[in-house]
């Protein structure tokens, strides 16, 4: 019984000692640093939807013909097969697509995803597309091949900015900055706003375009704006 009491007493004593341990960083400063960069996208993902159609004097252009002509057009525009993939057939089940082939009143469709490196390449392809076969032409995503490296660089710059801010703030109150206690990455804010140029809008028959295209007067894609924020807690000496 006495031994049990002694063990309990030692446990309480140890707990008390830990609770009374001094805080190694009694004075701290919490700051946020940020850095931003605008980059021109070099990865532009476009989905082109093609459809069967009736050609005057030639009858129905079936999907196989439309596909063959489209892929030939892509190759003529200098696009390798590696940047072309099938996004979807009409409907969620390919069997639905085949069943529609037997119905004259319905037209099968297929969508391809294409990857471009710049808007000029898009213009080059658009000028060669079959307008009657092209149902939709949509930019679905833009990015950059080195975006992860840019984010890494911005995080480093944001931490340096946080340190510089902490230094002048502590100096303002007659203190000296100590070591970094914690570093936390805030949620980054990436704004991407792609814009078509007038030629793409007209050739792709996108609803809402009512203007005339003028050679060389197109609007290019906006830059990708990357913003990185880092929160750092510094000790004050």
pLDDT tens string for the chain (237 positions)?
A: 555 555 544 454 445 544 567 888 899 999 999 999 988 889 999 999 999 888 887 788 888 999 999 999 999 999 999 999 998 876 334 455 455 554 445 778 999 999 999 888 888 898 899 889 998 888 888 889 999 999 999 999 999 999 999 999 999 999 999 999 999 998 755 554 444 443 444 444 333 333 333 334 445 667 888 899 999 999 999
Split into its structural domains, the chain has a count of 2
Q: What is the pTM of this model?
A: 0.68
Structural tokens at position 51:
């459809």
149 and 237 share one domain: yes
Domain shared by 115 and 194, yes or no? no
Residue 60: what pLDDT?
83
* Residue 13 placed within a domain: no
Residue 34 covered by a domain:
yes
Cα 153 from chain centre: 17
**Cα(17)–Cα(11) distance, rounded to whole angstroms?**
10
102 Cα distance to chain centroid: 40
Q: What is the DSSP letter of 153?
A: H
What burial class does residue 74 get, using C-beta atoms within 10 Å of its C-beta: 0-12 exposed, 13-18 middle, 19+ buried?
buried
The position carrying tokens 């009374």 is 20
Residues 170, 163: Cα–Cα separation, whole Å? 11
Residues 102 and 123 reside in one and the same domain: yes
Domain boundary among 115, 143, 171: 143
Last residue of a domain, one of 108, 126, 143: 143
138 vs 120: CA distance, rounded Å: 16
Indicate whether 47 and 139 sit together in one domain.
Answer: yes
171 part of a folded domain: yes
Assess whether 53 and 113 both reside in one domain.
yes
DSSP-derived secondary structure letter, 124 = H
Is residue 48 domain-shared with residue 138, that is, in the same domain?
Answer: yes
Per-residue pLDDT at 194: 44
Task: Kindly state whether residue 15 falls inside one of the protein's structural domains.
Answer: no
Domain boundary residue, one of 86, 113, 143 = 143
CA distances from 174 to 146, 160, 168, 205 (A): 43, 21, 10, 66
pLDDT of residue 104: 45
Coil/strand/helix, residue 140: strand
| Same domain as 109, residue 170 | no
- CATH code at position 99: 3.30.70
78: left (phi over 0), alpha (psi -120 to 50) or beta: left
Q: What is the CATH number of the domain that holds 197?
A: 3.30.110.170
Considering the domain architecture, whether residues 100 and 124 belong to the same structural domain is answered as: yes
78/106 same-domain check: yes
Structure tokens at 24: 């190694």
Ranges assigned E (strand) in 90-150: 109-116, 134-143
| Claim to verify: residue 150 and residue 237 sit in the same structural domain | yes
Q: Which domain holds residue 234?
A: 24-41+145-237
DSSP code of residue 56: T
Q: Is 72 in the same domain as 56? A: yes
Decide: residue 32, CB within 10 A, 0-12 exposed, 13-18 middle, 19+ buried. middle
In this structure, are 110 and 122 located in the same domain? Answer: yes
């Amino acid at each position: 019984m006495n031994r049990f009491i002694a063990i309990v007493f030692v446990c309480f004593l140890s707990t008390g000692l830990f609770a009374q341990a001094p805080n190694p960083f009694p004075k701290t400063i919490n700051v946020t640093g940020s850095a931003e960069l605008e980059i021109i996208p070099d990865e532009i993902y476009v989905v082109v939807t093609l459809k069967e159609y009736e050609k005057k004097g030639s009858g129905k252009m079936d999907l196989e013909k439309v596909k063959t002509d489209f892929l030939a057009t892509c190759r003529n525009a200098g696009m390798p097969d590696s940047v072309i993939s099938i996004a979807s057939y009409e409907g969620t089940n390919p069997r639905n697509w085949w069943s529609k082939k037997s119905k004259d009143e319905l037209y099968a469709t297929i969508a391809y995803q294409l990857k471009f490196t710049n808007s000029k390449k898009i213009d080059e392809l658009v000028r060669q597309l079959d307008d009657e076969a092209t149902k939709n032409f949509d930019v679905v995503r833009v990015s950059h091949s080195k975006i992860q490296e840019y984010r890494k660089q911005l995080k480093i710059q944001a931490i340096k900015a946080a340190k510089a801010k902490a230094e002048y703030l502590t100096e303002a109150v007659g203190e000296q900055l100590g070591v970094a206690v914690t570093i936390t990455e805030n949620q980054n804010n990436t704004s991407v706003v792609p814009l078509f140029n007038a030629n793409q809008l007209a050739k792709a028959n996108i609803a809402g375009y009512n203007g005339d295209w003028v050679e060389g007067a197109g609007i290019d894609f906006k830059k990708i704006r990357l913003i990185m924020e880092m929160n750092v807690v510094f000790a004050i000496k």
